[in-house]
Structure 1
């Protein structure tokens, strides 16, 4: 019975579609329509925290003298503390090399040696670029004694990021510091449309190269006394490459 009714209804439509002047057009089944989708972005002010430059996974620094991070969507997340260890007093010109950084894997608990590095995150969403500079605030000092003529150098800069492409990679420079406390050196410059996301500037592409990538040159005739000599470096992140 259902089949008979269906055929009868179809015949009725055909008959009703006839007029005295011809045939009236009827809409076919189907057609198209549109729907909408949207997403709203806001500035990301969550701290990124230190990460492994090679895996981008969170790590914990093992050095108790950790550099405090800056806040905001454009931030310095981490800077390795530079240690040259304990050295014997020498009357010769000497070059000392910084120890490698040691980072603890938060998942496994393993401690791994890594090149010393600086970590920057840009979550502003402006793609405006940025610049990182550094100043050596004073000469290495031990009380009133200072390492006159000593030179601190950071070479073999290597930029790493999971977001890295030829187009969006900033420019990293070798750093030779003047201990006058005012002369800044460019570390990384990200032009417009570069440097978005998290970036690592490692001094040495791997631990082998990194072993001789940060050096302290001390003249032999510089007076030295027993004890620890230290200095501070001030890293400044500007929100424009200019």
Structure 2
């Protein structure tokens, strides 16, 4: 019969093995994963607008344009592809001349950040269709200038736009802008692709401006007893041989936005 001492020693001899088995069993059990994975979803649809005009020199800022004659411009078109704004072009008041003359357009007045300033004439287009299919902007002159009262034609007068350039805060590739063009005053001339966005281009809001701040100038004009703010990138050339009456002359321009991208 074993003594108490032998029993105790036997128990001490086997206890490390038993403890190691217990520890191994505990370590082999998998640790529960406390994390979970969930989804996150967002959808976008076209914006039916209209979109506010922006400052053509700082397209990240909204602007409130006025026409050079002090009237309020028409609201832009609605829809996910919209023509938001187009400047009224005015060449001011000028003395009748028998020599060939070139007249600068008045600069575009806007109100932005509570401040009034003059900027280049511009056109604004917004594409929020979400299709990246491209678009085309064209313009035509609807007949020659005619005097308001007597309906006399300003024969040979021609409007020329220059320094056409794009501006936007959009990360989309820029559309292509026509730099310089002249309008056909007979009412049938159309400048195709004045600005065009090929497929994958022109998403977001884009300004087609004629020049930058360096093209906005203050000049003294003898007809007006004050400085006049003009832009030297939109001009009207009038032959000296053209008969002129002491009246206001008017015509109109039609800017057309098409959802078909321009082809090379």
Structure having the higher Rg:
2
> Which residue number in structure 1 is paired with residue 242 of structure 2?
222
Correspondence for 1:85: 92
Q: Does 1:181 align with 2:201?
A: no
Question: 2-side partners of 1:212 and 1:46: how far apart?
Answer: 33
2-side partners of 1:95 and 1:48: how far apart?
35
Question: Deviation at 1:147?
Answer: 1.0
Q: CA RMSD in A?
A: 2.4
User: TM-score, normalising length from structure 2?
Assistant: 0.78
1:31, distance to aligned residue in structure 2 (A): 6.7
Say if 2:43 is the partner of 1:58: no
Alignment correspondent of 1:8: none
> How far, CA to CA, are the matches of 2:33 and 2:78 in structure 1?
55
Q: How big is each residue's C-alpha offset from its partner over 1:47-83, in whole Å with a ceiling of 9 and x where there is no partner?
A: 1111112332122122215244111011111111111
- Residues 57 and 43 (structure 1 numbering): CA distance in 2 closer, same or farther, change over 3 Å? same
**d(CA) in 1 for partners of 2:31, 2:207:** 60
2:109 touches 2:119 (CA, 8 Å); kept in 1? yes
Give the alignment of 1:1-242 within 5 angstroms. 15=22, 26-30=29-33, 33-55=36-58, 56-63=60-67, 64=71, 66-105=73-112, 107-108=113-114, 110-142=115-147, 143-164=150-171, 168-173=173-178, 174-185=180-191, 186-208=193-215, 211-242=231-262
Alpha-carbon distance, 1:211 to partner: 2.1
Compared CA separation, residues 53 and 152, structure 1 to 2 (3 A): same
SS of equivalent residue, structure 1 residue 212: strand
Structure 1 residue 124, shift from structure 2 partner: 0.6
Would the aligned equivalents of 2:51 and 2:76 in 1 still touch at CA under 8 Å? no
Which shifted more, 127-136 or 170-179?
A: 170-179
Identify unmatched segments of 5+ residues in structure 2: 1-17, 217-229
TM-score of the two chains, using structure 1 as the length reference: 0.84
Aligned residues: 224
Q: 1:65 to 1:177 in 2, by over 3 A?
A: farther
Aligned residues of 1:67 and 1:79 also touching (Cα < 8 A):
no
Kept in 2, the 8 Å contact 1:100–1:207? The answer is no
